[in-house]
C-alpha cells in the first residue's frame, strides 16, 4: 500500500507546518509520541495519514481504517502532504504501485452503511447469502429482470468477480454487498424479500457457532421475508441438514418442506463437485407465515452531551473489555494540539469488529470518519464506550 519514506523531521516542526495547511483538518500526536495523525479533508474525502519515525528516517503512510475510496486520491494526498511538510523523499512506492482496477467503483456495489436509508428500486427483492462464484444469482437475475437480487458475500474476491460478471452480462438488477450476512440482515427492513437463498453454506462442523444459519439469523430472515416468502437452504452436509432442521423446528411463524437430490436449473461449481462424487444434496425450504412488525430500533450513535476531560488520556485502559456478544478495545490515544483527544478503537461483534476513531474535541464528540454500522453489537459497544468516556446521551 502507498507510503513514502522520508528524511526525519522533528515532530514539533511537522506539526507547526501541518496546522497551517488547508488540506489538514486536525493534527494529533500519539500519547507516547510514537506517531502523528493528520486528519485530512481532501477532494471531498475525509481520511487520516500517519507520520512516524523509523530506523532510517520517517514514514508517511495511509491509515487503513479510514482509507479513501479512490487509490489515486490517497496517493495524491500523500505526495501533496509530503511536499507541503517539506519532507525529503528517500523512497516511495507511489509511482510504482500497480493501479488496481477501481475496487468497488461499480454502482451495483453497495456499501453496508448505505442500507440505513437506501431506496429499493422495485417491490420484488430476493437475497442470496454467500453466492461464491455467482452462477446462481446471475442465472436468477437474467431469468427475472423485474426482481432485484441482493448478493451478500463475505469473501472480497468473489464479490469483485460478481461485479465483473454484472458488467460483462449487462445486468442492472443485482446489488453486491461485501459483508457478513449475519450482521447485514439486521440492517434490512421488515417484509422486504420474497426469497432468500443460502446455498452450500460452509458447514463449520468443528465450530458450529460460525455457521450462517442459527436461531437468531433465521428469526431475522423471517422478519425480512414478506408473508409467504421463502428461505431455501441447500447443502451437501447431512450434519448441517439435520442441524438446520433442529434450528427451524424450534421457531414459530414458519412452515417447512424438505427435498433430496432435487436438480436446480443451474448448478454451481461447488455443487457439481459433490454431484460427481454422488453425494446427496438436501434442500430445506421454510416459508414465512406472517407479516412482521416494522423494524423499530433506530440506533443512535451520536454523543450528544459532551463529557471531555483531559484526564481521560490517563484513565482509559488499553485492555480489551469482553462481554457476552461484543467487545470494546481502546487501542491508541492521541493528543490533539487544539483541545481534545483522539482514540483509536475496535469494538462490536467478534466476527466483524468495527474499527473507528473517536474524536473528543472542545465542543463535540464524534466517530471518525463515519458512524459505525447500525448493528445490535455495535450499539451495545457504543453504550459501553459512552460509559467509559462518561459521555451521557439524551
Ligand atoms: C461453500 S461456498 C458456496 C458458494 C455458492 N453458494 C455455491 O453454491 O457454490 C460458501 C460461501 O459462503 C460465503 N460465506 C461464508 N460465511 C458467510 C457469511 N457469514 N456471510 C456471507 N457470506 C458468507 C463464503 O465466502 C463462500 O463463498
Q: Mean of the pLDDT values across residues 179-190?
A: 92
Answer yes or no: are the C-beta atoms of 148 and 120 closer than 8 Å: yes
For the CA of 152, the nearest atom of ligand 1: 21
* Residues in contact with ligand 1 (CB, 6 Å cut-off): 129-133, 152-155, 158, 180-182, 199-202, 212, 268, 270-271
Note the pLDDT of residue 392.
46
* The residue to which cell 507520520 is assigned: 51
When mean pLDDT is compared across 297-311, 357-371, 373-387, the lowest value belongs to 297-311
Q: Residue 136 and residue 126: Cα distance in Å, rounded? A: 12
Instruction: Say which DSSP state 290 is in.
Output: S
Band of residue 103 on the pLDDT scale cut at 50, 70, 90: low
* The residue to which cell 453496508 is assigned: 112
Band of residue 308 on the pLDDT scale cut at 50, 70, 90: low
Q: How deeply is 1 buried, as exposed, middle or buried, from its count of CB atoms within 10 A (0-12, 13-18, 19+)?
A: exposed
The CA radius of gyration of the chain, in Å to the nearest whole number, is: 24
**Residue 35, φ and ψ in degrees, nearest 5:** -160, 165
Which is nearest to 213 in space by CA: 226, 232, 227, 229?
A: 232
147 C-alpha vs ligand 1 centroid, how far in Å?
Answer: 22
Q: Mean of the pLDDT values across residues 9-33?
A: 93
> Which cell numbers hold the place of 123?
417491490
For the CA of 269, the nearest atom of ligand 1: 9
Which residue's C-alpha comes closest to atom 19 of ligand 1?
180
Which residue's C-alpha comes closest to atom 18 of ligand 1?
180
161 C-alpha vs ligand 1 centroid, how far in Å?
Answer: 14
Q: Mean of the pLDDT values across residues 336-363?
A: 89
Residue 93 has pLDDT above 90, yes or no: no
Which residue's C-alpha comes closest to atom 12 of ligand 1?
130
234 C-alpha vs ligand 1 centroid, how far in Å?
Answer: 12
66 C-alpha vs ligand 1 centroid, how far in Å?
Answer: 27
- Residue-wise over 84-120: b if at least 16 C-beta within 10 A, else e? ebebeeeebebeeeeeeeebbebebbbebeebeeeee
* Among 201, 209, 350, residue to substitute to test ligand 1 (most atoms within 8 Å of Cβ): 201
Q: Residue 180 and residue 185: Cα distance in Å, rounded? A: 9
pTM score, whole prediction? 0.77
Residue 96 has pLDDT above 60, yes or no: no
Q: What percent of the chain has pLDDT over 90?
A: 68
Band of residue 73 on the pLDDT scale cut at 50, 70, 90: confident
Rounded alpha-carbon distances, angstroms, from residue 4 to 74, 83, 326 = 12, 11, 37
Q: Residue 383 and residue 323: Cα distance in Å, rounded? A: 12
Which residue's C-alpha comes closest to atom 14 of ligand 1?
130
Three-state DSSP at 217 gives helix
Q: Residue 219 and residue 225: Cα distance in Å, rounded? A: 10
Q: What percent of the chain has pLDDT over 70?
A: 95
Band of residue 340 on the pLDDT scale cut at 50, 70, 90: confident
173 C-alpha vs ligand 1 centroid, how far in Å?
Answer: 21
pLDDT digits (tens, 9 = 90+) for 207-240: 888 899 999 999 999 999 999 999 999 999 999 9
* Among 112, 136, 154, 269, residue to substitute to test ligand 1 (most atoms within 8 Å of Cβ): 154
When mean pLDDT is compared across 89-93, 129-133, 260-264, 322-326, the lowest value belongs to 89-93
296 C-alpha vs ligand 1 centroid, how far in Å?
Answer: 29
Answer yes or no: are the C-beta atoms of 196 and 231 closer than 8 Å: yes
CA 197 centroid distance within chain: 21
CATH of domain 112-288: 3.40.50.150
Three-state DSSP at 386 gives helix
Instruction: Say which DSSP state 209 is in.
Output: G
Which is nearest to 63 in space by CA: 44, 48, 78?
A: 48
Q: Residue 129 and residue 201: Cα distance in Å, rounded? A: 8
> Where are the domains positioned within the chain?
3-92, 112-288, 312-389
Note the pLDDT of residue 314.
80
> Which cell numbers hold the place of 354?
468495527
Residue 345 has pLDDT above 90, yes or no: yes
Write down the mean pLDDT value for the chain.
90
Q: Residue 392 and residue 394: Cα distance in Å, rounded? A: 7
Note the pLDDT of residue 393.
41
Note the pLDDT of residue 306.
61
pLDDT digits (tens, 9 = 90+) for 113-155: 889 889 999 999 999 999 999 999 999 999 999 999 999 999 9
How many helices and strands (H and E) does the chain possess? 10, 18
Q: Residue 238 and residue 271: Cα distance in Å, rounded? A: 14
372 C-alpha vs ligand 1 centroid, how far in Å?
Answer: 24
Note the pLDDT of residue 339.
78
Which residue's C-alpha comes closest to atom 4 of ligand 1?
132
Q: Residue 183 and residue 232: Cα distance in Å, rounded? A: 19
When mean pLDDT is compared across 76-80, 102-106, 237-241, 380-384, the lowest value belongs to 102-106
When mean pLDDT is compared across 51-65, 167-181, 187-201, 301-315, the lowest value belongs to 301-315
> Which cell numbers hold the place of 100?
488496481
Amino acid at each position: 500500500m502507498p507510503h513514502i519514506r522520508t528524511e526525519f523531521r522533528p515532530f514539533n516542526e511537522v506539526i507547526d507546518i501541518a496546522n497551517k495547511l488547508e488540506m489538514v483538518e486536525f493534527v494529533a500526536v500519539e500519547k507516547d509520541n510514537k506517531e502523528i495523525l493528520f486528519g485530512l479533508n481532501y477532494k471531498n474525502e475525509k481520511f487520516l495519514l500517519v507520520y512516524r519515525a523509523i530506523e532510517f528516517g520517517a514514514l508517511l503512510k495511509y491509515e487503513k481504517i479510514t482509507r479513501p475510496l479512490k487509490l489515486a486520491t490517497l496517493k495524491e494526498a500523500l505526495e501533496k502532504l509530503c511536499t507541503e511538510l517539506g519532507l525529503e523523499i528517500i523512497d516511495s512506492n507511489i509511482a510504482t504501485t500497480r493501479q488496481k482496477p477501481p475496487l468497488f467503483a461499480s454502482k451495483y456495489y453497495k456499501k453496508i452503511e448505505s442500507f440505513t436509508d437506501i431506496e429499493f428500486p422495485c417491490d420484488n427483492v430476493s437475497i442470496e447469502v454467500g453466492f461464491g462464484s455467482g452462477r446462481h444469482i446471475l442465472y436468477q437475475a437474467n431469468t427475472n429482470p423485474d426482481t432485484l437480487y441482493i448478493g451478500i458475500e463475505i469473501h472480497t474476491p468473489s464479490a469483485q468477480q460478481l461485479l465483473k460478471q454484472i458488467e460483462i452480462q449487462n445486468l442492472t438488477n443485482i446489488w453486491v454487498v461485501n459483508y457478513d450476512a449475519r450482521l447485514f440482515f439486521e440492517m434490512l427492513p421488515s417484509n422486504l424479500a420474497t426469497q432468500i437463498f443460502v446455498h452450500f453454506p460452509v458447514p463449520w462442523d468443528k465450530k458450529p457457532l460460525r455457521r450462517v444459519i442459527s436461531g437468531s439469523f433465521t428469526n431475522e430472515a423471517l422478519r425480512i421475508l414478506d408473508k409467504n416468502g421463502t428461505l431455501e437452504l441447500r447443502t451437501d452436509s447431512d450434519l448441517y441438514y439435520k442441524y438446520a432442521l433442529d434450528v427451524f423446528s424450534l421457531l414459530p411463524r414458519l412452515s417447512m418442506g424438505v427435498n433430496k437430490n432435487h436438480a436446480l436449473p443451474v448448478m454451481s461449481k461447488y455443487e457439481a463437485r459433490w454431484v460427481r462424487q454422488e453425494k446427496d444434496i438436501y434442500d430445506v425450504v421454510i416459508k414465512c407465515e406472517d407479516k412482521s412488525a416494522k423494524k423499530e430500533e433506530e440506533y443512535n450513535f451520536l454523543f450528544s452531551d459532551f463529557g471531555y476531560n483531559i484526564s481521560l488520556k490517563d484513565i482509559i485502559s488499553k485492555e480489551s473489555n469482553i462481554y457476552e456478544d461484543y467487545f470494546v478495545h481502546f487501542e491508541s490515544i492521541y493528543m490533539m494540539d487544539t483541545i481534545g483527544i483522539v482514540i483509536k478503537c475496535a469494538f462490536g461483534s467478534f466476527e466483524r469488529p468495527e474499527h473507528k476513531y473517536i474524536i473528543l474535541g472542545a465542543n463535540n464528540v464524534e466517530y471518525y470518519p463515519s458512524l459505525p454500522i447500525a448493528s445490535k453489537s455495535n450499539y451495545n459497544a457504543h453504550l459501553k464506550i459512552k460509559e467509559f468516556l462518561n459521555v451521557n446521551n439524551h
